[in-house]
Structure 1
Amino acid sequence: MSPYFQPTESIAGKAKSDEHILATIAGRFIGANPKHPPVYRIYSAEGFRREADYRYEMDFAQRWPELENGQFVYVWGKLWSDGEIEHPFSVSCYCPVRIMVNGTQQFASNLNDDVFPERSSYFRAKLSKGWNHIVMEFVATATGCGGKFGTGSIKGFPMHMLAPIADRDGQEGWVYSSPQSATWEVMPGSAEEKDWASSAVDKWYPRMAWTPEELNSGCFSRIYGEKPGQIAYAWTKLENRNPSVQRVRLIGVYQGQLTVYLNGTPVFEKHLTDGSLEMILAIPFGAHDLVACSTCEGSIWGVNLEIEHASTEEAAPVKRIPPYPVEGLTDGWLYAGPFSADNAPHPATITRMDAPLGSEDERTFWRADMPGAWVRPYLENAIYGKWNYPLGVTLYGILRTGQELGDPHYTNYAADHIEQCTTLFAYSRWDQAQYGSPGVNHQLTLIDSLDDCGSFGAAMLEAGKLRALDGAEAAAEHIAHYITREQSRLEDGTLYRTRGTTDFMKDTVWCDDLYMSTPFLSKYYELTGDAAYLDDAAKQFLRYKKLMFIPEQGIMHHVFDFKFSKGNGVPWGRGNGWVLFSLTELLAVMPSEHPERPELLAFFRELCLGYRRLQGMQGLWHQVLTDPESYAEASCTSMFIYAFARGVRFGWLEEAAPYVEAVLQGWEGLTRYAIDKNGNVYGVCRGSGYSFNKLYYKDQLSWQLNDTHGIGIVLLAGIETMKLRKHLSACSHF
């Protein structure tokens, strides 16, 4: 094999112990992916809705009823990229459409596109590091005006756009023009544009400002309308930067009954329907929640509070600041409501940003004092806080590393990542119902495959053994319901794919899906005690064996394709690794008296024998297991190490010695040839499709550096190697 790096760069030559190796790999990952929360942004409900396919719906025939055939409408937004990449896009056309990226045309519809609005066209465009400006030109015709536009990869790149104009800085969404009589010669975002685009039209939409009448109606009236007897809240913070307590005077006017709370304690209360207020507050050092709670008593309903400093110091020691960092917020206040008196949240509990506010039909979230302006969280981290199947494996490995090393730094990192997802689960479901597609947790919220839920869900249940995770119980129920009630199955109950992100996935069974389902089912059985989940997991292995096991070799096809009624004939390394890894997860929790256990143990032994025979000279297994000319693949190697070591420790393998040697050779091979001194992991196959052609796996399905499909399982392999060493040492003392 071609080496991934020079021998002197391997971690085997630098590390003092297996513990050192694990800490280096996990530490590198954590250092590269710090714990950043989601970014909260202002979103205009008067803009474009992003549907479940993560494309923005732009229908100008409805938005501009006066639009005439031949007129143009322009849409402009900006998209950030951390580096120079090719990004996939998708567009459906209601009319002739041109799309420009950074001033260069990247797509133009043809005659066919213009008359089939339900069809999607895909293209890739190069994005530069930094901000990239996307402009769409729509030409009104008798067929309509507008289209749908967004990501070409829902699972991989659920992108959102940001407003490109200075007065909307930080807000999510696009701006668009009124109907134009002629095409623009220069496009926004192009090198020639300079200041022209921001003044090219009289006004950019959606609107940003209230009308004079709305401004005079009071903040709650213009945001919520007239709601007699209902309650709304306004939330801001007072920050004292002086070490000593500061006294400040709060002055203002209000309409409707009003109570003001400082850190949950009432400091002002008036039952009059309107009036002025004045109060003196003692503010200690730091930031403090100020909440105004008002009941609507008439057509004008609102509150306006400002600080008038009692001190004559030149620099004001107490300032009003936004209650939470929200990009695009202009006045420092957030608003929630309206609520009926019986369902209104308590003012002391309303100051949170991770869940819908209120209950039942009144559930809502924060708004801003601008037309149609809502607050929404968006996950903008490449890794941290994301929910997907490779990260489920990664976090499982980091979690177990922390346990093995006795270091909460690692367990807390993994659990915190998982809990960021589960805490926002209830919000993301509300967000999806409100807006079409959520800004966070898109794969958990919009589950449509086992990939979306089983792997991360298993890591979530494992983390839940160490500490309670906010929202995890509801997320687990959601996943269990999907796997058992919604995922497509054959008549005998075999999990399979009736559809997929591409046509070739239709009517297939993938050995990967044993990992995407059975570890979660096994752990959910542990949690609930419901044997139906364990029985389902057991039956999946036996049914998959009938479809994909190659008995003469003791290994598995990657995929069984019902379109051809046969397996694809290629024993892909990681797919086979998932089978054996997942079988150990099931056997580890299965009671000894379970009726399927003898057959599953026999299957485990058959697989182990088949895989052991294919181990390479350097201790590593190959991308195509039967082709030693294919590259040495780290993730399948790790899974075979993991399973062999557990098989020896738990007594599942009757002849232990050959498997002990395979484990030790495999771990030595990983540390010498696939992990460098900085903890970088090489040789991990990227996310796969499938093919009947072996060369697809060998030549096209390349490896990637530090791919999340492999980091966690490499850690798990190291942990099981350490445990095996300790087990054998303990046994040798008797």
Structure 2
Amino acid sequence: MNTLTISENLYNHYESTAEIKHYYGLLANYALVLTAEANQNKELLTRCKNIMRKFPNQIEHPNYNFPSYKIGGIPKAYMFMKGYLPEAESEIRDYADEMMTAVRDDKGIVTTLFDQEKKLIWIDAAMATTPFLLFAGLGLKEEKYIDEAVNQAFLMYEEFFDEKIGLLHQCKNFVGEGLYSQDHWSRGNGWGYFALTELVKHLPKQSPHRKKAEKYFIQLSNALLPHQSKRGLWRQEIPLEYSYEESSGTGLILYGLGTGLRLGLLEFEAYNNAFHKGIRGLNDICINEDFSTEQSCPGCLCPGEEEEKGTVKAYVTLKLPYKDEPHSFGPFMLALAEAYQNGIIDLNRLYKG
């Protein structure tokens, strides 16, 4: 089946199960735009415009840690940048300004809105801040937004980087003051990788930030590559051989690998087979015939209680995957849209290869 057809059908299935509005839903909306762009599907692009025009007034919003979700977050900013939604200019500017003044820790990393005195920081925020500010800055031609998009990605990468293994921890101060979670969580590393992927994908060639963005992107790519399973996936606790294979992090990692290959940042011989194996594994193991999904970890912010809080054991045993877990759809769609861009048009042909 065509990879873009699978991507669109994943969104259709997701839409049939829930109202798409949370951050993981907005990521699926962003992936739907990329799916439409990949083969210049005008009908699908019109659908994306109509979806985004429902934000904020036709959606009943829950409480968000990042208010930009209210107007459509990443996909709204991206579609404005690309000229699809010029009427969104004032919304994008207002919420970019709000993000510029959001609460930060002493190093300048955005913190959670609750328990602000504890300066709780987590790598998931790289997904929320960097792409939105990057697209806002490029669309509005405001360097201050671009600079802060880069700043958040770099600060979080540096803060959560584990020098021993080259992977990222998820969070700090949730276990106790100055303490990091012990994990190298699949989707957490995927969130950090996603932010770096958007930087290398969209920063202008002349940007003073490009060299460092490429350096960090390649470093994390190199750290992730050796941990791919025999079936093509990455695990919930990435370096732990006995941890379950986790699909949402896998989708984000594959999106980054495909982008790096296409941009010539990653060596073809080292990464191409891994990318193809991953796309095959994602399709075979994690996508059912009805386009429901499998193997995705549920919400997972420093799990556990007391002495087990934030431990590898808590990440692996307390947060178990289930069918149609909502974080899965966006990462799967991103990986498939990028597969198409890398010439994987028909998965049947991939199998024959």
Q: How does the TM-score come out when normalised to structure 1?
A: 0.43
Does the 8 Å CA contact 1:402/1:408 hold for their aligned counterparts? yes
Of 468, 471, 488 in structure 1, the residue corresponding to residue 85 of structure 2 is 468
Q: Which structure features the higher share of strand residues?
A: 1
Q: Is 1:493 the counterpart of 2:129 in the alignment?
A: no
Cα separation, 2, equivalents of 1:413 and 1:567: 42
Of 222, 225, 228 in structure 2, the residue corresponding to residue 609 of structure 1 is 222
Change (3 A) 1:550 1:600: same
Change (3 A) 1:568 1:610: same
Does the 8 Å CA contact 2:8/2:32 hold for their aligned counterparts? no
Q: CA deviation at 1:473?
A: 2.9
Of 115, 133, 143 in structure 2, the residue corresponding to residue 521 of structure 1 is 133
Report the counterpart of residue 246 of structure 1 in structure 2: none
Cα separation, 1, equivalents of 2:51 and 2:70: 17
SS in 2 for 1:516: helix
Of 392, 406, 410 in structure 1, the residue corresponding to residue 44 of structure 2 is 410
Does the 8 Å CA contact 1:455/1:519 hold for their aligned counterparts? no
Report the counterpart of residue 24 of structure 2 in structure 1: 390
Report the counterpart of residue 27 of structure 1 in structure 2: 12
Cα separation, 1, equivalents of 2:260 and 2:98: 31
Q: Is 1:710 the counterpart of 2:323 in the alignment?
A: no
Q: CA deviation at 1:546?
A: 2.9
Report the counterpart of residue 538 of structure 1 in structure 2: 150
Q: CA deviation at 1:712?
A: 1.8
Does the 8 Å CA contact 1:391/1:456 hold for their aligned counterparts? no
Report the counterpart of residue 285 of structure 2 in structure 1: 673
Does the 8 Å CA contact 2:38/2:341 hold for their aligned counterparts? no
Larger Rg: 1
Q: How does the TM-score come out when normalised to structure 2?
A: 0.87
Change (3 A) 1:454 1:536: farther
Cα separation, 2, equivalents of 1:702 and 1:414: 32
Equivalent AA in structure 1 for residue 22 of structure 2? N
Report the counterpart of residue 457 of structure 1 in structure 2: 73
Report the counterpart of residue 221 of structure 1 in structure 2: none
Report the counterpart of residue 341 of structure 2 in structure 1: 723
Q: Is 1:479 the counterpart of 2:99 in the alignment?
A: no
Does the 8 Å CA contact 1:510/1:560 hold for their aligned counterparts? yes
Change (3 A) 1:496 1:29: closer
Cα separation, 1, equivalents of 2:89 and 2:136: 11
5+ residue gaps in structure 1? 1-15, 34-381, 426-438, 728-734
Cα separation, 1, equivalents of 2:155 and 2:49: 34
Cα separation, 2, equivalents of 1:18 and 1:726: 7
Report the counterpart of residue 301 of structure 2 in structure 1: 689
Cα separation, 1, equivalents of 2:294 and 2:118: 32
Equivalent AA in structure 2 for residue 483 of structure 1? M
Of 631, 639, 644 in structure 1, the residue corresponding to residue 257 of structure 2 is 644
Deviations 1:108-136 (Å, cap 9, x if unpaired)? xxxxxxxxxxxxxxxxxxxxxxxxxxxxx
Does the 8 Å CA contact 1:392/1:455 hold for their aligned counterparts? no
Equivalent AA in structure 1 for residue 261 of structure 2? V
Please show how residues 325-364 of structure 1 align to structure 2 within 5 Å.
none
Cα separation, 2, equivalents of 1:468 and 1:597: 27
Deviations 1:281-332 (Å, cap 9, x if unpaired)? xxxxxxxxxxxxxxxxxxxxxxxxxxxxxxxxxxxxxxxxxxxxxxxxxxxx
Does the 8 Å CA contact 1:641/1:666 hold for their aligned counterparts? yes
How many residues get paired? 337
Cα separation, 1, equivalents of 2:136 and 2:246: 31
Of 561, 574, 577 in structure 1, the residue corresponding to residue 187 of structure 2 is 574
Q: CA deviation at 1:557?
A: 0.6
Equivalent AA in structure 1 for residue 104 of structure 2? R
Structure 1 ranges of 4+ moved more than 6 A: none
Task: Give the % identical residues.
Answer: 22
Does the 8 Å CA contact 1:559/1:568 hold for their aligned counterparts? yes
SS in 2 for 1:532: helix
Cα separation, 2, equivalents of 1:568 and 1:28: 34
Cα separation, 1, equivalents of 2:207 and 2:5: 39
Does the 8 Å CA contact 1:388/1:451 hold for their aligned counterparts? no
Change (3 A) 1:442 1:569: closer
Q: CA deviation at 1:505?
A: 10
5+ residue gaps in structure 2? 303-308, 346-353
Aligned-residue RMSD, C-alpha: 2.6
Equivalent AA in structure 1 for residue 286 of structure 2? A
Q: Is 1:554 the counterpart of 2:162 in the alignment?
A: no
Cα separation, 1, equivalents of 2:208 and 2:124: 25
Does the 8 Å CA contact 1:454/1:515 hold for their aligned counterparts? no
Q: Which structure features the higher share of helix residues?
A: 2
Cα separation, 1, equivalents of 2:342 and 2:27: 21
